[in-house]
Structure 1
Amino acid sequence: MSTTTTVLAVVLAALFLLLGSAKLAAVPAMRQAAAHVGMTTTHYRLLGTLEVAAAAGLLAGLRITALGAAASGGLILLMAGAVVVHLRSSDPAARCLPAAVVGALAAVHLVLLASG
């Protein structure tokens, strides 16, 4: 595994561990974000669980490539869903950009793992 792949996995894992934990803890900013897009706090916590699981999968993928690939694939799907939810909520395109960028980074990670 290349240094680039490892660094990308660690950065993505740290990001999603932080964001997923904030959703699980239902911090006020996350409750507001959930309400903004019409989600319940329970639904947002489920998304947080998936994000924390993906972070764990990315880190486990440093040893077991298939787990890292599965985690990257899951994050791509989660971020595509986030873009759709923002667009359905009539958010401006700029509000979708973070999810699109992070989804693209997860896709790069997946491609790097596949090229291996």
Structure 2
Amino acid sequence: MSIVYVVAAIITAAVLAFSARSILVRDPDVVATLTRVGVPPTLIPALALPKIAGALGLLAGIAYRPLGLAAGIGVVLFFIGAVLAHLRIKDAKGAIGPAALALIGTAAPYLAIATA
């Protein structure tokens, strides 16, 4: 087991948990952003579920690496979708946050493979 993978998984899971919390408590900035990219208000809470699942999968991946790899890939794909949603409405500045999260999310699957 690689310490670097464990640290990457924990940090990424923490970022995902914080992001999911912001959705669940309906942070005004987050709700405004999601509304701007076209997410209907009734579906906003549902966007917390993949983040929570990703966080839990990354943490479980510490014990069972294939699960962490799958969760990491899912996290990266989720945030690539968020980047595309921003770019679709020509909001390049708004795409920076999801792009950074996609980049952070690549660490865990990369390390899951590299340290296996």
Superposition deviation, residue 72 in structure 1: 0.3
SS at match of 1:90: coil
- Quote the Cα distance in structure 2 between the aligned partners of 1:59 and 1:42: 29
8 Å Cα contact 1:80-1:100 kept in structure 2: yes
Matched, 1:108 2:107: yes
Question: TM (normalized to structure 2)?
Answer: 0.89
- Quote the Cα distance in structure 2 between the aligned partners of 1:63 and 1:98: 29
SS at match of 1:45: helix
- Quote the Cα distance in structure 2 between the aligned partners of 1:112 and 1:4: 7
- Quote the Cα distance in structure 2 between the aligned partners of 1:78 and 1:88: 15
- Aligned pairs for 1:1-116 within 5 A: 1-92=1-92, 94-115=93-114, 116=116
8 Å Cα contact 1:58-1:72 kept in structure 2: yes
8 Å Cα contact 1:26-1:41 kept in structure 2: no
| Unaligned stretches of 5+ residues in structure 1 | none
Question: TM (normalized to structure 1)?
Answer: 0.89
8 Å Cα contact 1:21-1:52 kept in structure 2: no
8 Å Cα contact 1:59-1:68 kept in structure 2: yes
SS at match of 2:95: helix
Aligned residue pairs: how many?
115
Q: Percent identity?
A: 30
| Unaligned stretches of 5+ residues in structure 2 | none
RMSD (CA atoms): 1.4
